[in-house]
A and B are shown apart, each in its own frame.
Chain A
Amino acid sequence: MLDTAGTHFPFDSGDAWFLLVAPGLLLFSLFMVYPVAYLIYLSFTNARPRNMFSGDEQFVGGPEVLGVTLPLENYTQLFATGPVLRADVPLWQVWDVVRWSNFNAEFWNSFGITWLWVATSVTLKLLVGITIALVLTHELVRGKRGMRALAILPMGLPNIFTITVWRGIFSTANYGLANQFITYSAEKINAVIGAVNAVFGVVGVEVGKLAVQEVSWLTDRWMAFVAYNVTEAWLAYPFIVIITVSALQDVPKELHEAAKVDGAGFLTRFVHVTLPSIKRPVMFASILTAAASFQQFLIPFVFNEGGPGRKNELLIVYGYRQAFSKDFYGEGAAIMLTVILTIGVFMWINVKKGKLAEGVDSQ
């Protein structure tokens, strides 16, 4: 901290320095904080395009507490469209309670698929990223520096560009690269099988050939989910690579040499030398990358708008479509606030566990 006493700085009286921060804070608040506040208000109303722009939106109903109606219907409707517990179904028949009650299937499907997506995509990103980082720091590989520069190229490409290219790769039409690859490999395998059959046919053995079939990537629910995962892994591995490589470079070479002298094999050295030293940065990166997965919008949106049907709508896509395709602004707002609260918790963990805010206290 500079000692400003006796100098001619314009803001000698300490707190006036706040004025330098104020414009940025104001700009941010105008476009981010104010919309969040407005979003909270909207989530309590029945806002739709036809009533909102004339200012006719009204508070929705909801549960009554001490004679006051809380306008929470948009929220309660997300979780269940009616009473969940029914008097005529005994409580111990849990399955029946779930089956017969009025849960909002669309919301819970979206909620479930979002968490499944976070789990699978984070695992895949970490596996791919760490493997690439290990290869591109390996002592035997020549030209590592140039390869590393190229490897993180996906990060420098605009998302809408890469995601649309990947949509073309997973195209169901016969020019889709993924399908071409499958067809090509199947043909090669069948050629081998054919050769085998030709040789062994004499003794009466015959191996069945593979049925060559194009995969309808984006119209099959789980195939689409796989396609999302592959694309996300490709988009996000550079981030993991950058962090892992810088962690790996900090591992003292002597440690590896010493372990080698002691006769430790590759696996032993990996577990006892490499892993401990990259554990913390990788943990930190996984929190960040999980938050990124949770906020992924463009992949489902560009691929098939969270389809087929509405089966793969991640929460943020679900909120977007409830608002802009179905015109339920109020309900969309409630969903988006659920998303914001969840990301808020993510970031809280991030700052606490990742010690992101270390620099704030140190002066």
Chain B
Amino acid sequence: MSLLGNVARSLKEDVVNVATAPVRGYRHGKYVVRGLRNGTVRKRDVARSAAATLGATAMMAVLLFPVYYVTTAAFTGSQTLQSTNGVRLIPSDPTIEPFVWVIQESSFFDYMYNSMYVATFTVLLSMSVIVPAAYALSRREFLLRKKILYGYVLLTQIGGGLGIATLIALYAMLSNAGLTDNKFILACYYAATAVPFNTWLLKTYMDGIPVSYEEAAVVDGAPPWRVVLEVILPLSKAGLATVFIFAFLAGWTEFVIAQQLLRAGNYTLPVGLYALVGRYSIPWSQFAAYALMFASPIAFIYLFAQRYIEGGLSFGGMEG
């Protein structure tokens, strides 16, 4: 419970930070204005800072334009956006029709159920093999330990590419076994691909927990399962959260393998999204609405989980 509590607390912190940003901005502005009047803040510094901030904001606007573009497209009623009067800041005739179409007429929720099924089993399976392995690799010495770790590190960055490269063999293998159109097998596959990177990630988190904590618990007479459950797991919550998110996203967003293996009834959301593009030769606003409903929850999770994910990405030998 304390794990969930901690996650909730940092989420709350983030939300409060975002919500109070305007207030802080206003206070800072007031401070600057007063400083200018008193002469404690130089005009030149304010002007330079304002120019730099404006430049950075312009850069951000260019960078995020594709996201903005697809958002406005989703709120535009016209089917094809044939008009050439350019992109407007706010669509001239906003409508939620495309969203209604996605909810009522597309198979969005069927595909979402499939995605949920796949992602849930991906998380369950991968966590159940990754957590014990990470603990053993971090805390114990045993046969082949170093070889396995080296192997996992070698494999960390090639997940996607290796998956596509072996797709021919995987497809042949599963076809022979009659298992191609099977969501559970797909989840097993995603869990398998998640093993090297996430085991390594969680192991590095656990390396940071002082051994003395564990020893103290052992001296107090705690049985081993309690040591792991009450000392190790709570202390590696950041690592667990990262692994959870990565495993979930692997099941939720993977496209190429799912597209090759699944048939219409079992499509996951990414495959359904791509099928939409092919079938209707991009009904742009409907596609945009569909895509936003698929992508924005992930984007929000990502924005809030960023501090964990950044920690995860700078794993190993990153210090200059």
Contacts and interface: CB of A to CB of B under 8 A. Distances in A.
Interface stretch (A32-40, A119-127, A192-200): A32-40
B303 A156 contact: yes
B165 to A, nearest CB: 4
Interface string B169-192: 110110110000000000011011
A266 interface: no
Given A39-B168, A277-B320, A279-B320, A32 B193 contact: yes
A259 interface: no
A152 B25 CA distance: 22
Interface SS majority for chain A: helix
Given A17-B142, A359-B316, A302 B274 contact: yes
B53 interface: yes
B303 A151 contact: no
Contact of A360 (B144, B153, B172, B218): B153
B166 A35 contact: yes
Interface string A277-293: 11111001000100110
Measured as residues with beta carbon below 8 angstroms from the partner, the interface class of chain B is: 35 or more
Contacts of B158: 291, 295, 343, 346-347
Contact of B318 (A20, A52, A281): A281
A324 B143 CA distance: 41
Contacts of B143: 14-15, 18
Contacts of B298: 156-158
A160 B320 contact: no
Given A161-B295, A343-B158, A351-B153, A356 B317 contact: yes
Contacts of A150: 60, 64
B316 A25 contact: no
B274 A141 contact: no
A224 interface: no
Contact of B82 (A175, A339, A355, A363): A175
A135 interface: yes
Contacts of A294: 161
Contact of A357 (B52, B87, B153): B153
A141 B53 contact: yes
Given A8-B224, A27-B191, A348-B154, A339 B165 contact: yes
Contact of B142 (A14, A42, A250, A356): A14
A15 B141 CA distance: 7
A28 B196 contact: yes
Given A160-B273, A288-B157, A343-B162, A27 B195 contact: yes
A320 interface: yes
Interface stretch (A61-69, A97-105, A162-170): A162-170
Given A31-B188, A165-B66, A356-B317, A160 B302 contact: no
A164 to B, nearest CB: 6
Contact of A10 (B157, B224, B256, B301): B224
A292 B125 CA distance: 26
Interface stretch (A83-91, A203-211, A328-336): A328-336
A220 B132 CA distance: 52
Given A20-B135, A357-B149, A359-B207, A159 B284 contact: no
Given A18-B145, A159-B255, 4 more contacts: A147-B56, A168-B282, A359-B204, A360-B153
8 contacts: A24-B129, A31-B189, A31-B193, A53-B172, A158-B298, A174-B82, A277-B320, A347-B157
Interface of A: 1-4, 7-11, 14-18, 20-21, 23-25, 27-28, 30-32, 34-36, 38-39, 42, 47, 52-53, 132, 135-136, 138, 140-144, 146-147, 149-162, 164-169, 171, 174-175, 177, 180, 183-184, 234, 239, 242-243, 246-247, 250, 277-281, 284, 288, 291-292, 294-295, 297-298, 301-302, 316, 319-320, 323-324, 329, 332-333, 336-337, 339-340, 343-344, 346-348, 350-351, 354-361, 363
